[in-house]
Structure 1
Amino acid sequence: MTTSRGPLRVLGIDPGLTRCGVGVVDVARDRSAVLVHVGVVRSDAGAPIEERLATIAAGIRAVVDEHDPAVIAVERVFAQHNRHSVMGTAQASGIALLVAGERGIPAATHTPSEVKAAITGYGSADKRQVQAMVARVLRLDQLPQPADAADALALALCHAWRGGSPASSDAPLTPAQRAWADAERLARR
């Protein structure tokens, strides 16, 4: 949990029905970050949908219980070509937001391009670029695997860096944040 002077603990969730990425980071006032937990909640593709969603909920609850995040950041579901895939993602996203509501934890959603821009400075970055920047920011020896886990960590970092931090208004912007802010200003014109 966050203290008035301590780091902000953020649980990032990359929703998915088969693999739901979860990542917890502590982000300090200077925007430096430390890995707390990373993993994937898996559900059996052959199981009935209600069992799969219950498995995801139980996995997210376990992470919340163990790591006590101050906020939960979830990838915002967007329309894809594969309706079956987007439906499962939307259901898993709803479960993540439900768990936040059950526990009284504030929640936020971020689009994939918003996360990529916050982490890499480029809203169309590929998965490998996001993984590399997450590894660099968290000072990891290896790229976080699988991609769902890396995406969850990126969501948590994005949220903290884009305003979830207790000192967000007076902390200096990272190069990626500066690029994102510039792009937002240009888009408003």
Structure 2
Amino acid sequence: MRVLGVDPGLTRCGIAVVDGGTGRTVRCVAVDVVRTPPDADLASRLLAVADAVEDWLERHQPDVVAVERVFSQYNVRTAMGTAQAGGVVALAAARRGLPVAFHTPSEVKAAVTGSGRADKAQVTTMVTRLLGLDSAPRPADAADALALGICHLWRAPMRARLAEAEARAAELTRRHRARLAEAGRRAAGKGTTP
């Protein structure tokens, strides 16, 4: 499976492609950071992010796009810009019919380091090690995009199994309720028979 991981942002948007192999093997295909000037208007900045994502989708043909889910931050303006950039990424993927998975920062940290409270340096160190890179990806947004790709590759099979189990449980519940309703109808029908 090939994942396009995106750490959304307006000033710096981390973007990476990670391939997953058998077991937990992962390989870095490409990584970069899309930068937009802080003094440019919002629409132009979002367009620059969208154009870059479209280019990466075309060049690398991922199977899925993994985006960091935005949580409220102390700086509402930053959170809004991050959410808007993430929305542009999701839209670009949806236009191509690609599934989009959103992962929280703590999910990504836990998948890569084993701790949902890991700091950026720990994430960068583990991403470098897991992918066998010669040097740490810089800036941190690049490492975060790679971490998103790894996280999705490792969590997707579990999510798929969980969704399958939930679907089976829902079907069993539906069948059980149908049997109970039928038994109730039969019992009601016997009570009114002369």
1:25 matched to which residue of 2?
Answer: 18
Shift of 1:141: 1.1
Question: May I ask how many residue pairs the two structures share in their alignment?
Answer: 161
- Equivalent position to 1:111, from 104, 111, 115: 104
State whether structure 2 residue 39 is matched by structure 1 residue 69.
Answer: no
Structure 1 residue aligned with 2:44:
51
Question: In 2, are the aligned partners of 1:117 and 1:123 still within 8 Å (CA)?
Answer: yes
Of residues 2, 20, 34, the one that matches 1:9 is: 2
Which of 111, 123, 146 is residue 116 of structure 2 equivalent to? 123
Question: What are structure 2's unaligned runs of at least 5 residues?
Answer: 163-194
Normalised TM-score (structure 2): 0.80
Distance (whole Å) between structure 1 residues aligned to residue 111 and residue 98 of structure 2: 23
Identify which of 133, 155, 163 aligns with 2:156.
Answer: 163
Distance 2:26 2:35 in 1: 26
The AA in structure 2 aligned to 1:24 is V
Indicate yes or no: 2:85 matched with 1:92: yes
Deviation at 1:29, TM superposition (A): 2.2
Q: Distance in 2 between matches of 1:90 and 1:72?
A: 15
Within 5 Å, which residues of 2 pair with 1:26-41? 26-41=19-34
Equivalent residue, structure 1, for 2:130: 137
Structure 2 CA distance for aligned equivalents of residues 129 and 72 of structure 1: 24
Shift of 1:22: 0.2
So what's the TM-score if we normalise by structure 1? 0.82
Any conservation in 2 of the 1:11–1:73 contact (CA below 8 Å)?
A: yes
Report the CA distance between 1:168 and its aligned residue: 7.7
Consecutive unaligned residues in structure 1, runs of 5 or more:
1-7, 170-189
- Find the structure with the greater CA-based Rg: 2
Quick check: 1:43–1:52 contact (8 Å CA) kept in 2?
yes
Q: CA deviation at 1:107?
A: 0.5
- Residue 151 of structure 1 corresponds to 144
Q: After TM superposition, which residue ranges in structure 1, 4 or more long, deviate above 3 angstroms?
A: none
Question: Quick one: percent identity of the two aligned structures?
Answer: 55
AA of the residue aligned to 1:86: A
